[in-house]
Amino acid sequence: MNPIEIIIRKRDGYRLSGDQIKFMVEQYTAGNIPDYQMSAFLMAVFCRSMDAEETADLTRAMLDSGEKISFPASDFRYADKHSSGGIGDKVSIVLAPLMAACGLKVPMLSGRGLGHTGGTLDKLESIPGFRTDLSIVEFKNGVEKVGCIISGQTPEIAPADRKIYALRDVTGTVESIPLICGSILSKKLAAGPNLIVFDIKCGNGAFMQSLSRAAELGESLCRICEAMGKKSAFLISDMNQPLGRAAGNALEIDECLQCLRGDGPSDLMQLTLALGAKMLALSGIVSDGEAMGLMKSALDSGAAYQKFMEMVEFQGGLTEILRKAEPLKPAERVLNVRAVADGFIASIDTRQVGILIIEMGGGRSKLGDRIDHSAGIVFHKKIGDYVARGEIIAEIHSSAKIPEDYLTTRFLSLIKYSSGPSKTPPLILRDF
C-alpha cells in the first residue's frame, strides 16, 4: 500500500477500507510513515470525516497497536464510564467504588488534565502514595481483588494513540469526532470492559459547546461500541458551571469523600447516580427500578466508602490521612471572594475558572509542569442563587505567589449577575 494514495483517497471524500486504515496506523506507529504524511492524513479525516465503519476500523487499529487487558467476554459486570471532561468533574472517583460496592468490576484507565479541564489521575495523586502507574498485571489483579481500579495508560497500551494525539494537538485536528472516538475508545477498550457509559459534557466549560455536537459524539461512541460487541449508553450533562462545589485536585478529593460518606453536593450526586443506574441496568445486575435503591444502600451502609479505601490502599495510598476527615492538602491561604452587588448569579465563565486554577499551579500550562494539588476554588454560590453585596460567593485556595487583588478581581470578572431571578440550568440535558 502507498500512504500517498490513501491520503489522496480520503482527501477526495472516498471511504477507506479497514486494511488501508490499519496500514496507516501500524506503519506510523512503527516509524515508517513520517509525521508530515500522518499530518496530511489527519487533516483529510478532519475535513472529510469518517463513517461509522471507518471509525470502528480506526479504533480497532489503534487498540491493536499495543497490549490489551482481557476479562471474560460478554460478562457485562465489567463496566466503565468515560467523561468528555469539565471543571469540577470528579464523578469517576465516586462512581467507581460505588459500582464496585454494588457488584460490578470497574477497570478504569483515566487521564490527566487536558487544556482547561482537570484530570482524574492528577486528583488521585493528591493522596500521598497513590500510584497511577500500575502495570497491566497489577491493574488486572486489582480489578479482581478490589472491584475497581483507576490507573493511567501504560506504555504498552494503545501506543498509536499517544503518537497520533501528540500530532493532532499541533495540527488543528483535535476536534474531529472520528479521531476523538478512536482516541477515547482505543484506551478505554484496552482496559477490558464489556460495557461503557459516556458522560458527554456540553457548555462553556466543555470541549463540545453545542447540544447537537455533543449528541453527535455520544452517538458515534455508542455505534463503535456496538460494532465491537460492547454495550453502551450516554447522557449529555451541563458544563456551564463547575460540577459540585469544589474545583481543584485535593479539594475535589475532599468532596469525593463527602459524597462517599453520604453528604455530597446534590448536583454531583444526581449525575453520579444517573450514570450508575445506567451501568447497573445495562449489566443485568438489577432492573432500572432497582438500581437507585441498590446504590443508596451501598452509600448508606458505608460499603462504597470502604471500597474506595480498599482501592486507595491497593494502589499505595495512605488511607489514614483520608480517614481523618480533615482537608487533604490545605493551601497556604484561603481568600474569601465577596459579591460586589446584590443580585442573582446569571452565568459563570467555566472555561476561565479552569484556566485560573492552572494559573495558580493547579494544572499544567506545558508538558512536565509540576502540579500544586492544594490550588483550587470552592463555590458557595452558583447559577440561580441570590447574593447580597458583601456575601461570600467563593473561596480561592492558593499557595502561589500571585497578588490577592489579582486573584479576586480575576475571579469576579468570570461571574455575571442579573437583577431578576436566574434560572438554574438543568444538569442532565439529554438521556439516551
For 381, the grid coordinates are 454560590
Q: To 10 degrees, the CA torsion angle through 138, 374, 113, 146?
A: 20
161 is catalytic: yes
Task: Please tell me which residue in 10, 82, 112, 278 is annotated as part of the active site.
Answer: 82
CB proximity list for 321: less than 8 A, separation 6 or greater: 127, 128, 328
Task: Please tell me which residue in 122, 161, 267, 372 is annotated as part of the active site.
Answer: 161
Task: Please tell me which residue in 60, 81, 90, 187 is annotated as part of the active site.
Answer: 187
Place of cell 447497573: 280
Contact criterion met (CB below 8 Å) for 377 and 397: yes
Task: Please tell me which residue in 168, 230, 382, 397 is annotated as part of the active site.
Answer: 168
183 is catalytic: yes
Task: Please tell me which residue in 83, 92, 151, 183 is annotated as part of the active site.
Answer: 183
For residue 199, what are the β-bridge partners?
Answer: 83, 235
Q: Which amino acid is present at 179?
A: L
Say whether 420 sits in a helix, a strand or coil: coil
CB atoms within 10 A of CB 274: 19
For 131, the grid coordinates are 500510584
CA-CA distance, 13 to 48, in Å (whole number)? 6
For 393, the grid coordinates are 460567593
300 is catalytic: no
* Ranges assigned E (strand) in 282-342: 333-338
For 294, the grid coordinates are 441498590
380 is catalytic: no
Q: To 10 degrees, the CA torsion angle through 91, 193, 191, 268?
A: 0
CB atoms within 10 A of CB 348: 24
CA-CA distance, 79 to 70, in Å (whole number)? 12
Contact criterion met (CB below 8 Å) for 121 and 92: no
10 is catalytic: no
CA-CA distance, 69 to 144, in Å (whole number)? 12
Q: Alpha carbon of 343 to those of 301, 381, 411: distances in Å?
A: 41, 12, 17
* Ranges assigned E (strand) in 224-318: 231-238, 246-247
CB atoms within 10 A of CB 155: 10
* Ranges assigned E (strand) in 179-281: 195-202, 231-238, 246-247
Residues belonging to the active site: 82, 161, 168, 183, 187
